[in-house]
Structure 1
Amino acid sequence: MGFSKMFMLNLGLLITVAYLANVIYKYLLTKRFSKTNYALSVILIIFSGWICMKFGFQLKDNVIFDLRVVPLIIASAVYSNPLTLVIIGVGIGAARLTFGINDAAMAGFINLSILGVVCACLNIWIRGSNLRLITKGIITIVIVNVLNTVNIAIFGVIPVKQYLLEITPITFPLTLALSCAFALMLWDFQQDRKQTVDLKRVNGLLRKQTEELRKAKIVQEERARQLALASQYKSEFLANMSHELRTPLNSIINLAEIIAESEGGDGSGEEAANYGKIIHKSGLDLLHLINDILDLSKVEAGRLEIVREDVIIAEIMQLMELDFEHTASQKGLAFDIVQKPGLPCTISSDGQRIGQILRNLLSNAFKFTHQGGVRLEIRPADQEEAPPGDWIVFAVSDTGIGVPEDKHAAIFEMFRQADGSISRRYGGTGLGLPISKDLARLLGGFITLRSEEGKGSTFSLYLPINVDPKEDGAGDAGSDLADSVALGPR
């Protein structure tokens, strides 16, 4: 009866140790390194064997019967490294020596060391066998308990006949049954723990998928918004283009028909001349629109060629003065062209494209200015306003309607103007400045804007004075600089 009570006490202690180990792992060891957890688990198995011996059944002064083999059996199913099982067997055997070094203690040490080697071999067999887990567990429990009984009979201090006839019939069935019971309880506990871990993993995956779906939804909503915006811009552009193309074409067709039907007479020559002027202006407007569309398509297709040559700055000034002097006079606006000291006579660039950019900037300046004047200033760039190197600035300033700060970036986009009413009131397609921006980039430069609503604007074209053909990408750095100072075209 003493064996039964003491073995049940051992079983209760093993269950308690297992529960405490789970709590410690859950709240303390999960944040440690895996190697540390592995070493602590081995120590815990050895401690379980020691505590079984501590509360074992003491048959004589030096002879202790307990369930120390149970932790070793459990370890054979838990660990994948056979050497670990040898260490655990030797460790539990060495723990027996802490209760005194004597013949019984040495027998216990030898017994557990042998069982450690046997469990290591069983572990290799378990990993390679295709049998069900419960079958492999029963076979392991039976083999270890049988060998434990044989080892005690061989190495123990109790006479073999007395041990086999009086003690084994009681201890062997108890050890076998309690080993199976503890193994089943631990297996059930592990299944529950596995289900909990699986649920946590599934919940984590669901949370991750939910977050990814939320992000994807945001991306889709943003794309839908951009598509709707692009569709709106496209519609506005087509409406504007329809009006801009139809008006000059109708004028050309109608007035050409009138001239063709005119038979002359008093005053008919002067009237025909006026009609001719209107036809000429409408034709120029139509040509300008077509040129913008063609330039846009060339830029987008990467087919716009830049011809670098020595461009004389004085000639640029003269051309701009000739092109816009009449416009300034008609609108009653002052028009000044100023060249600051320190400029070279020529720059290496494409004169035709520089003129195209400046005409776009000056056309906008005159279009949106009703009083005051327009000024074109050509000067060297300061070091802090341009990338390293020598740069020249063509600054077009006006005293016109200005651009609201929140529209600085928007007006730099294709087909857009600061306000939808701008196109209806002033005309235009919103292509001039985006094309100018792309041309400036191709020339290795960039365009910036300083403007305040109602107080005029200053558009500045920055161009390198000399460009190495191998460094034609300098415009990218310039564009980054322009963006960093929150500037943009109109």
Structure 2
Amino acid sequence: MEYAKVFIINISILTTLTYTAMLVHKYLLSQASGVLKYALSVLLAIGAGWLTMVYSFDVGPDIKFDLRFLPLIICTLVYSNPITLLVIGVGIGVARLTFGLQSAAWAGCLNMVLLGVLCVILNILLKKVDWSFWAKITVVILAVNLANCVNVALLGTIQIEMYVSQIVPAILPASILLSFFYMFMLSDFHLERRRVADVQIAHDSLQRQTEQLIATRKILEEKAHQLMLSSQYKSEFLANMSHELRTPLNSIIALSQFISDADKQEDGSETAEYAAIIHSSGQELLRLIDDILDLSKVEAGRMEILNEEVIISEITYVMEYSFRHIAEQKGLEFAIQEEPELPSLIHTDALRLQQILRNLLSNAFKFTAHGSVILRVWKPEPRDEGLSGEWVAFSVSDTGIGIPEKMQEPIFEAFQQADGSISRQYGGTGLGLSISRALTGLLGGRLKLSSTAGKGSTFTLYLPIR
């Protein structure tokens, strides 16, 4: 029973010493060099063995029983250099001599040296096998405890028969059991510290990532603000530039028209033909500038929309009057269909509505060589179109070249056309549909496209009646 008490005291001492050593390492030696930490750990193992001897059980004069070999068991699986184990064994053996230089002390010193040699061998052998931690520690605990009993029996001053029959049955099971208990407690404590360390590492990593995300977000917000300002400045510049270009261009158009009319009245000279070319080119340039001006106004938020009563029949009459001669020149059928249940008027901006329909009809006639162009005005069912309230629809259908499905969305972007070669074959800048969609949004409506390549297209403008 006395052996068990002493061994439990030894376990308590070793546990306290281990925890104290971890605190010292954490708060005092965390920045120390590796050599210093290594040397201090070796001294700690030797000191732990010496401290167990201070609280040992005295069987007889200078005969002590304790767990001085337990630090060796721990160090066998901790240190990669096996010579360190021999140093620890010799160190604990020398520490035994501090309690006296009797024959029992020298036997205890030799015992620890031999256990150190055994741990060196075990360290080397266990590195070569792929066993679990507990399988390795079981081998070390059993081997060291059994070797300690054999050494004491052969080298000690106690009679072998008495030691084997009376002492070994008491101390060996207790020593093995307490060795396992201490290793379990130490490994569990170590695992808990590892979990806490892993949580702290994960927390620090998450904190750094959060800070990086915040910094990246600020940079992106600044870049977005700069891009917004750049786009606004560009739009304002285009709007101002378009106004500046219109003044001299209007003068060129007016004067070329005056020259053309004057020369035609006199003799029909080539000057009149040249003036007509100047006038036509000026008109084309003016239309381009008007498109750029409208687009820049929308982007800059400077487009004004008037909400007024608009008679639908007047809109269709203007479209009929504007495009009838183009249909006759190209030999195309041009029809306007108004359904009977249409309201007589809607509330919108007449000028912008006409501009959208002109763009749609101009494209329809431009890209249609044979067949027909039809403007249909009808009242859609809100439920079928995903709308709410009362709406009116203007559909422009043609039998022209059509638009491939993959290009049906890009053509609404500024300066985009279904095919790069179209601008050379048919002319145009690709601003019409972009402006039309922007104006549709300002009017609170929707612009949809349905087309099949080679079979024509249908653009439908949905506008709320109010």
- TM bucket (normalised to shorter chain) is 0.5 to 0.7
The aligned residue for residue 142 of structure 2 is: 142
* Aligned AA (1:145): N
Tell me the CA shift for residue 224 of structure 1.
1.2
Query: Deviation string for 1:112-139 (max 9, x for gaps)?
Result: 1221222223223333322221122111
Structure 1 residues 83-162: aligned runs within 5 Å: 83-162=83-162
Note if 1:166 corresponds to 2:170.
no
Bigger CA drift: 230-239 or 51-60? Answer: 230-239
User: Which moves more between the two structures, 190-199 or 93-102?
Assistant: 93-102
User: 1:102-160 deviations in whole A, cap 9, x for unaligned?
Assistant: 32222222211221222223223333322221122111100111111111122222222
Letter of the 1:147 counterpart: A
C-alpha separation in 1, matches of 2:17 and 2:24:
10
Question: CA offsets per residue over residues 380-427 of structure 1, 9 Å max, x none?
Answer: xxxxxxxxxxxxxxxxxxxxxxxxxxxxxxxxxxxxxxxxxxxxxxxx
Q: TM-score normalised to the size of structure 1?
A: 0.52
Name the residue aligned to 2:187. Answer: 187
Distance 1:176 1:264, change over 3 A: closer
* Aligned position for 2:31: 31
**1:252 correspondence with 2:252:** yes
Q: Which residue number in structure 2 is paired with residue 243 of structure 1?
A: 243
For the structure 1 residues 264 and 165, does the alpha-carbon distance in structure 2 shift closer, same or farther, using more than 3 Å as the test? closer
With over 3 angstroms needed to count, the CA separation of the structure-2 counterparts of 1:126 and 1:243, relative to structure 1, is farther
Q: Give 1:5's aligned residue.
A: 5
State the 1:246 CA deviation: 2.9
| Counterpart Cα distance in 2 of 1:128 and 1:187 | 22
Give the distance between the partners of 1:244 and 1:156, measured in 2 at CA: 114
Q: Relative to 1, partners in 2 of residues 1:196 and 1:126: Cα closer, same or farther, differing over 3 Å?
A: farther
Shift, 1:244, TM fit: 3.0
- CA 1:125–1:212 in structure 2 vs 1: closer, same or farther (change >3 Å)? farther
Give the 3 Å change call, closer, same or farther, for CA 205–264 of structure 1 in structure 2.
Answer: closer
> CA offset at residue 179 of structure 1?
0.8
Shift of 1:184: 0.9
For residue 74 of structure 1, what is the aligned residue in structure 2? Answer: 74
Q: 2:225 aligned with 1:225, yes or no?
A: yes
Q: Which amino acid aligns with 2:144?
A: V
* Aligned counterpart, 2:272: none
Distance 1:219 1:12, change over 3 A: same
- Alpha-carbon distance change, 126 to 223 in structure 1, aligned in 2, over 3 angstroms: farther
**Counterpart Cα distance in 1 of 2:94 and 2:172:** 23
Report the CA distance between 1:18 and its aligned residue. 1.4
RMSD (CA atoms): 2.4
Shift of 1:67: 0.3
Taking the TM superposition and a 5 Å limit, the aligned residue runs for 1:197-208 are 197-208=197-208
Map 1:70-469 → 2, pairs under 5 A: 70-262=70-262
Q: Identify which range, 120-129 or 60-69, moves more after superposition.
A: 120-129
Change (3 A) 1:131 1:263: closer
3-state SS, counterpart of residue 77 of structure 2: helix
CA drift at 1:196:
0.8
Aligned-residue offset at 1:222: 1.6
Aligned-partner residue type, residue 176 of structure 1? I
CA distance in structure 1 between the aligned counterparts of 2:66 and 2:227, rounded to whole angstroms: 78
Q: CA deviation at 1:263?
A: 6.3
CA distance in 2, matches of 1:80, 1:238: 75
Residue 29 of structure 1 aligns to a residue whose secondary structure is coil
Moved more, 68-77 or 252-261: 252-261
Does 1:21 pair with 2:21?
yes
* Structure-2 change in CA distance of 1:125 and 1:200 (3 Å): farther
User: What SS does structure 2 have at the residue aligned with 1:59?
Assistant: strand
Deviations 1:54-103 (A, max 9, x none): 11111222211100011111111222222222221111111111112232
Following the alignment from structure 2 to structure 1, what is the Cα–Cα distance between the partners of residues 101 and 240? 104
SS in 1 for 2:60: coil
Change (3 A) 1:87 1:159: same
Tell me by how many angstroms 1:258 deviates: 2.1
Partner of 1:479: none
Count of residue correspondences = 269
Gaps of 5+ in 2: 266-277, 286-466
Letter in 2 for 1:244: E
* Cα deviation code 1:210-258 (max 9, x no counterpart): 1111111112112211221221122122223322333322222222322
Shift of 1:53: 0.6
- Aligned partner of 2:82: which letter? P
In 2, Cα distance between the equivalents of 1:120 and 1:245?
95
Q: Secondary structure, in 3 states, of the residue corresponding to 1:64?
A: strand
Report the Cα distance in structure 1 between the residues aligned to 2:247 and 2:108, rounded to whole angstroms.
Answer: 110
TM-score (norm 2): 0.54
Distance 1:125 1:259 in 2: 110
Name the % identity.
46
Partners of 2:198 and 2:5 lie apart in 1 by 38
CA distance in 2 between counterparts of 1:134 and 1:174 reads 19
Q: Which residue of 1 aligns with 2:60?
A: 60
CA–CA distance in structure 1, aligned partners of residues 65 and 102 of structure 2: 15
**Partner-residue secondary structure (3-state), 2:127:** helix
Separation in 1, partners of 2:210, 2:128: 40
Cα distance in 2 for residues equivalent to 1:255 and 1:125: 107
User: 1:248 corresponds to which letter in structure 2?
Assistant: P
2:101 partner SS: coil
* Residue of structure 1 in register with 2:333 after alignment: none
CA distance in 2, matches of 1:52, 1:126: 27
